[in-house]
A and B are shown apart, each in its own frame.
Chain A
Amino acid sequence: EVQLVESGGGFIQPGRSLRLSCSASGFTFGDFAVNWVRQAPGKGLEWLGFIRNRAYGETRDYAASVKGRFIISRDDSSRVAYLQMNSLRTEDTAVYYCTRLSVVTDEGFDIWGQGTMVTVSS
């Protein structure tokens, strides 16, 4: 089965760091860019950033709201992508999703994880 599974969410104090993981199975992980998207309580979807695959230099891009605080990385040998979140703020409280985008076919974000909740509060 093709799937993505996020982990690492939880309750954390403002200013601290947290790393989320996105584990892939059922497909060739190295053929896809990995994107991270979040949804704060009662809000819409917000794209956070992506990392392309090795063939595209593993280049990254980020939303302005998280640039300089969040870092996306990947380990193709382990089929895992990461979202390192630093200097967390209360407004980072959200459900965090990882999702894939084919770098070859560009057919939208077709597979999503179930999401992991991050609560930033003192």
Chain B
Amino acid sequence: DIVMTQSPDSLAVSLGERATINCKSSQSVLFSSNNKNYIAWYQKKPGQPPKLLIYWASIRESGVPDRFSGSGSGTDFTLTISSLQAEDVAVYYCQQYYTPPYTFGQGTKLEIK
């Protein structure tokens, strides 16, 4: 199974500042036939279902604010929030959907400093 490891486990950032969350997979999730990394990022708030933010490591889902961006390839990935807003307080998860089981990272709790 592919193990997904996020860092840090928690993060406190001031409003308007940049937040960066890292995700590492135990093996490459790059599908060679289409050159796509099968990594997604989700935002999870209490009492709500997860919300897809990013797929294929860097493609923003429709309707997601452009302050959210994803990058990386192979085994190392990053979610960046360029200017933190109060509504971004949540737990963020990376996930690989390259091969089942489609494992999630352990989550990163993002708070306001």
On A, residues with C-beta under 8 Å from B are: 35, 37, 39, 44-47, 49-50, 61-64, 97, 99, 101, 106-110, 112-115
Contacts and interface: CB of A to CB of B under 8 A. Distances in A.
Given A47-B100, A61-B100, 15 more contacts: A37-B50, A44-B104, A44-B107, A45-B42, A45-B44, A45-B50, A47-B104, A101-B97, A107-B55, A108-B52, A108-B55, A108-B61, A109-B42, A109-B52, A110-B52
Interface of B: 1, 36, 38, 40, 42, 44, 49-52, 54-56, 59, 61, 91, 93, 95, 97, 100-107
A39 B49 CA distance: 10
Contacts, number: 70
A72 to B, nearest CB: 12
Given A101-B97, A107-B55, A47 B102 contact: yes
